[in-house]
């Protein structure tokens, strides 16, 4: 240091130091602080501007800052050289070839349909460290130079391998089927040494990324190399050994091996130098889980014949019966099920791993994640059905006729509120119709009103395992945010609490309206639905009967009568309920000026049945007037009106029997006489048939119309009471329930379709599907504290409502394979469309349209810091009650399963005792009420897979806690089912969490590769639910 006229008096080395500048306007001093612990250096400038200029200059002169700048410039120069080399190549080409480059003809890579285009694994040898005793912690960043654009794009990264100069990376590189990669595509591999994992400097996102990021303080550049895809795929051994060089291209810093990967082939190699987990591990108690077969992105999986022949009988016997071979059934190729799956799944992400087994062999794992178009398709279909249902209800309220002033004012108020709600549904549907782009709703959008019907972050998570001694296996989990009404909030709790409170309050409003129980209002809706469904069918069959009579076709007449009789009997039985009779009386009392004639005397169904048998002619039926106004009301009148339908049908049946009997006898007589005369008689008899049946059919239609009018009005009056007793809370609760149900249903439809596609070859599963139904198990990770308690209440009701959903499989008649939804609230039918070749594989019962039942169960265990607060200072009763209730439902399904399924139907049915033990273990764990007892979730998942169920994992946004749970489940399956080496369990877990599909899911949602945890939160998490260092931090969720 010196002044302007003197010699230098002191030299300061600006290494590992930083500048502290005083921020006051008057202070013109700065301090230099040193990491080495040397005394601080105090400097004073002549003025404030000089002080600021010195602070900047000293900061830029810092050796660390200069080193980062140099490294950044080196990387930029290297990338510019690559781009310039491509441009120079153009200058030496004839103009014709230059024109051909502008319209490039690139060589495609030949791969199996719907398989990834390219997959390879990586390993380094002999890496050179900057200092001799430095232990390297390395990873490889993979970049792609597209031949048409000559722009470098970051694609992916491997995991970090610590403490070795010969790292063998477990994370591979995979390019999905739709990725534009050709033999001319150049791959750049850059090796970095990571100094501080906690900085989270590893970037593996796919960016357009000719833009350079900020300098990374947590890593240093070691070397790079490049190769073309053609070099790899055409190499004799399908392996490349490349030299790693420094940025100036002069110094060699090691070699890198690139091995082409094919899932159907096995890899041999030494594994002695692979870094293992040094720490002791407490293994989880996952039991053998069920695998699926065939499916998206891996429709056909060929086995290596030589390796299969090496499988011994002993291993074959020991193999778990729950792991099925991943091969397509005979007559169904992978291409056949692609159109229907591609209509549902979009934007797949693939990750590739290789892990060692306990017998020192390699297994390969392909992890896949895809979003689904059902996230928007199902809610839009549902909202459309809600609009139609509500419009019908509003019209039925208007059709009630004249009411006394009190009831009329009530009706006007209800209709006004209903019209307002109807308008809201219509606006929401219109907004969803405008949506374009992504097929999923990100966690950041969960509070948006226009998207409140859409499930949060709905994805299929799949693991495809190919191991040397076991058959290929697929494991699927549907991940989705907990179905909940986030926009409406949870200040007053969720649906479970709100519905209970509303029902209690509604009982106390009897002075304003008539109270009907929830069972009665549900019955009223069912009656109205039956009316709307059956009336047009009966009318159509009656017309067909008359048409058969006019054609004098005995066979057609019999068939038409059979259909008419079946539908009419269903129609008559729909009104066998005291509710209709009592509602008619209540409606009469609501008319202006009513007088009761006599008290009602209930009649039993046996007496009504006798009336139907003894009445057999239309002349005996007395037509009744509509519900009287300002006159005496006979409460038995409804019984007579309702019974007239059955009597009319008996008259039609009797007449058809007479006509057919006469026809048979006349044919016998006329057959003995002139044939031409017989033909004339037949033509004349045809006219007689129609004329004799026509008045009876018209009477039947009239009687049915009268019943419909009365029943519709009485049931609409019941619904009026339900709405009037709770305005506007009733409609708001209906809206909330619709929102939650919409989110839950979208996930269920996705899970069902994926399960059906992957199990088409499994006759045992298909028999179970139509005989018993499908088990759907939801794993919840919500806490019972603050807002998440309300989310859990919403989720519990939404999943319970799925019990009322039925599925039906139909043959697709077009190229549109999206499911069709029909029905009304509390009774929906989902029609899943399959291509003809796939449809033919189904059992006859399913092909004939048998409705398939769902059995949803929910088990929840909170694992975060809020659950710690709930356990210590709050209440966990909600979670305990939900788990206990759903345990009973699970036991019911198991009992039904053992009762209806033949013992030899399913290959793993021999493990029945094991299932009993698992259920008992689950029961004991639920009763134990231990804090954060995650064993409940592991046991429930195991039981679900053993029973061929569909697995769901949910947290608030299906992003952070869900990722921890899914990756833990995958690694536990690899260890327990596929002999993952015990020393690699933690490393495999870290690989999947750091570089797998779930960190890509985080990036999709919040544009940041950080799980939304902090260190304090993670201290409250169970050990195996904590992410690796450097993958978590502050993120906006």
Q: Kindly report the number of other CB atoms within 10 A of residue 226's CB atom.
A: 14
CA 414 to chain centre: 36
Q: 185: which DSSP letter? A: -
SS3 for 462-486, per residue? EEEEECCCCCCEEEEEEECCCCCCC
Helix H or strand E segment including 809:
strand 805-811
Paired strand residues for 349? 369
Judge residue 946's burial from the number of C-beta atoms within 10 Å of its C-beta, 0-12 exposed, 13-18 middle, 19 or more buried: buried
Q: 455: which DSSP letter? A: P
Burial 256-269 (b: 16+ CB within 10 A, else e): bbbbbbbbbebeeb
List 350, 418, 703, 955, catalytic entry: 955
Q: Residue count of the chain, please give it.
A: 1037
Euclidean distance between CA atoms 116 and 422, whole angstroms: 47
Q: Let me know: does 349 contact 368? Beta carbons within 8 Å.
A: yes
User: Strand locations in 523-625, DSSP E?
Assistant: 595-596
Measured CA distances, 324 to 159, 213, 366, 474, 938 (Å): 30, 46, 17, 8, 21
Tokens of 418: 């209903």
Q: Is 756 helix (H, G, I), strand (E, B) or coil?
A: helix
Tally the C-alpha atoms within 13 A of residue 307's C-alpha that lie toward its C-beta.
18
CA distance between the termini of the chain:
51
Q: Let me know: does 631 contact 594? Beta carbons within 8 Å.
A: no
Euclidean distance between CA atoms 751 and 106, whole angstroms: 39
Paired strand residues for 478? 460, 952
Euclidean distance between CA atoms 985 and 695, whole angstroms: 80
Euclidean distance between CA atoms 654 and 620, whole angstroms: 14
Helix H or strand E segment including 225:
strand 219-228
Euclidean distance between CA atoms 917 and 939, whole angstroms: 10
Q: Which residues contact 645 (CB under 8 A, 6 or more apart)?
A: 568, 571, 572, 700, 703, 704, 707
Measured CA distances, 89 to 84, 227, 229, 946 (Å): 8, 17, 19, 61
Euclidean distance between CA atoms 75 and 826, whole angstroms: 62
Euclidean distance between CA atoms 983 and 271, whole angstroms: 12
Euclidean distance between CA atoms 114 and 333, whole angstroms: 12
Euclidean distance between CA atoms 975 and 972, whole angstroms: 5
**What dihedral angle (degrees, nearest 10) is formed by the CA atoms of 988, 989, 995, 996?**
100
Euclidean distance between CA atoms 772 and 768, whole angstroms: 5
Annotation marks residue 651 as catalytic: no
Give me the helices (H) in 763-876, please. Answer: 763-771, 787-801, 836-839, 844-847, 865-873
Q: Is 827 helix (H, G, I), strand (E, B) or coil?
A: strand
The angle at the Cα of 945, spanning 943 to 949, to the nearest 5 degrees, equals 100
Tokens of 544: 């067909």
Q: Which residues are catalytic?
A: 955
């Amino acid at each position: 240091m010196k002044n302007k006229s003197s010699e230098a008096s002191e030299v300061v080395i600006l290494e590992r130091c930083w500048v502290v500048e005083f921020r006051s306007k008057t202070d013109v001093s700065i301090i230099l602080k040193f990491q080495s612990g040397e005394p601080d250096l105090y400097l004073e400038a002549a003025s404030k501007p000089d002080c600021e200029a010195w602070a900047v200059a000293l900061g830029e002169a810092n050796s660390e800052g200069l080193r980062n700048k140099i490294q950044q410039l080196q990387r930029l120069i290297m990338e510019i050289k690559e781009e310039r080399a491509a441009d120079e190549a153009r200058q030496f080409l004839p103009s014709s070839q230059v024109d051909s480059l502008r319209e490039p003809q690139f060589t495609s890579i030949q791969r199996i349909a719907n398989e990834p285009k390219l997959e390879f694994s990586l390993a380094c040898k002999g890496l050179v460290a900057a200092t001799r005793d430095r232990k390297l912690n390395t990873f490889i960043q993979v970049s792609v130079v597209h031949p048409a654009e000559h722009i470098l794009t970051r694609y992916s990264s491997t995991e970090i391998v610590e403490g070795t100069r010969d790292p063998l990376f477990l994370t591979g590189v995979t390019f999905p089927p739709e990725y534009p990669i050709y033999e001319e595509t150049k791959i750049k591999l850059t090796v970095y040494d990571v100094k501080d994992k906690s900085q989270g400097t590893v970037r593996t996102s796919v960016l357009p990324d000719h833009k350079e990021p900020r300098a990374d303080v947590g890593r240093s550049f070691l070397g790079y190399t490049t190769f073309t895809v053609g070099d790899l795929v055409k190499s004799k051994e399908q392996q490349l050994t490349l030299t790693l060089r420094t940025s100036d291209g002069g110094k060699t810093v090691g070699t890198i091996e690139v091995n082409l990967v094919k899932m159907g082939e096995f890899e041999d190699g030494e594994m002695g130098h692979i870094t293992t987990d040094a720490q002791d591990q407490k293994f989880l108690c996952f039991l053998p889980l069920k695998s699926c077969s065939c499916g998206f992105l891996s429709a056909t999986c060929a086995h290596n014949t030589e390796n299969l022949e090496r499988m011994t009988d002993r291993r074959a016997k020991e193999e778990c019966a729950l792991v099925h071979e991943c091969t397509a059934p005979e007559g169904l190729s992978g291409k056949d099920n692609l159109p229907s799956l591609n209509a549902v799944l979009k934007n797949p992400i693939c990750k590739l791993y290789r892990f060692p087994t306990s017998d020192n062999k390699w297994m390969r794992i392909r992890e896949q994640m895809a979003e689904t178009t059902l996230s928007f398709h199902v809610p839009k279909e549902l909202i459309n059905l809600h609009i139609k249902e509500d419009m019908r209800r509003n019209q039925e309220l208007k059709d009630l006729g004249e009411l006394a002033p009190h009831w009329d004012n009530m009706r006007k108020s209800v209709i006004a509120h209903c019209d307002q709600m109807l308008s809201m549904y219509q606006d929401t549907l219109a907004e969803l119709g405008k949506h374009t782009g992504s097929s999923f709703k990100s966690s950041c959008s969960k509070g948006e009103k226009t998207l409140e019907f859409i499930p949060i972050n709905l994805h299929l998570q799949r693991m495809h395992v190919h191991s040397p001694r076991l058959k290929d296996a697929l494991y699927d989990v549907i991940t989705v945010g907990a179905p909940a009404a986030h926009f409406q909030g949870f200040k007053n709790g969720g649906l479970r609490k709100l519905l209970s409170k509303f029902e209690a309050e509604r009982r106390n409003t009897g002075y304003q309206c008539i109270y009907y129980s929830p069972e009665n209002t549900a019955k009223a809706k069912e009656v109205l639905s039956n009316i709307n469904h059956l009336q047009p069918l009966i009318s159509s069959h009656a017309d067909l009967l008359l048409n058969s009579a006019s054609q004098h076709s005995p066979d057609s007449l019999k068939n038409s009568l059979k259909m008419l009789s079946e539908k009419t009997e269903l129609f008559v039985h729909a009104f066998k309920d005291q509710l209709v009779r009592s509602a008619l009386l209540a409606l009469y009392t609501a008319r202006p000026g009513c007088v009761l004639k006599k008290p009602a005397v209930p009649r039993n169904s046996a007496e009504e049945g006798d009336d139907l048998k003894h009445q057999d002619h239309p002349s005996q039926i007395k037509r009744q007037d509509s519900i009287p106004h300002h006159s005496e009301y006979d409460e038995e009148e409804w019984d007579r009106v309702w019974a007239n339908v059955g009597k009319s049908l008996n008259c039609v049946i009797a007449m058809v029997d007479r006509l057919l009997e006469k026809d048979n006898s006349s044919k016998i007589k006329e057959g003995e006489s002139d044939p031409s005369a017989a033909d004339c008689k037949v033509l004349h008899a045809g006219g007689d048939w129609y004329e004799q049946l026509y008045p009876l059919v018209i009477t039947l239609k009239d009687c049915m119309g009268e019943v419909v009018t009365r029943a519709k009005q009485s049931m609409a009056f019941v619904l009026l009471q339900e709405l009037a007793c709770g305005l506007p809370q009733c409609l708001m609760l209906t809206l909330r329930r619709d929102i939650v149900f919409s989110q839950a249903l979208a996930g269920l439809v996705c899970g069902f379709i994926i399960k059906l596609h992957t199990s088409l070859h499994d006759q045992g599963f298909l028999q179970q599907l139509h005989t018993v139904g499908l088990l759907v198990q939801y794993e919840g990770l919500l806490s019972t504290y603050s807002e998440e308690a309300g989310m859990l209440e919403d989720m519990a009701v939404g999943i319970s409502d799925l019990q009322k959903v039925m599925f039906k499989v139909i043959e697709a008649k077009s190229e549109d394979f999206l499911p069709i939804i029909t029905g009304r609230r509390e009774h929906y039918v989902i029609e899943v469309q399959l291509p003809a070749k796939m449809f033919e594989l189904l059992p006859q019962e399913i092909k004939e349209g048998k409705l398939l039942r769902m059995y949803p169960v929910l088990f929840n265990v909170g694992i975060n810091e809020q659950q710690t607060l709930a356990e210590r200072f709050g209440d966990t009763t909600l979670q305990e009650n939900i788990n206990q209730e759903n345990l009973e439902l699970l036991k019911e399904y198991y009992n039904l399963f053992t009762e209806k399924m033949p013992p030899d139907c399913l290959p793993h049915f021999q493990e029945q005792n094991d299932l009993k033990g698992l259920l008992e273990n689950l029961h004991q764990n639920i009763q134990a009420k231990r804090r954060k007892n995650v064993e409940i979730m592991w046991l429930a998942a195991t039981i679900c897979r053993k029973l061929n169920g569909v697995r769901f994992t949910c947290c608030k946004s299906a992003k952070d806690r869900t990722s921890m749970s899914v990756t833990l489940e995958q690694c536990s399956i690899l260890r327990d089912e596929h002999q993952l080496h015990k020393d690699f369990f933690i490393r495999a877990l870290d690989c999947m969490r750091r570089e797998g599909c779930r960190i890509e899911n985080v990036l999709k949602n919040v544009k940041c590769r950080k799980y939304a945890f902090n260190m304090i939160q993670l201290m409250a998490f169970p050990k195996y639910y904590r992410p690796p260092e450097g993958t978590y931090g502050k993120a906006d969720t």
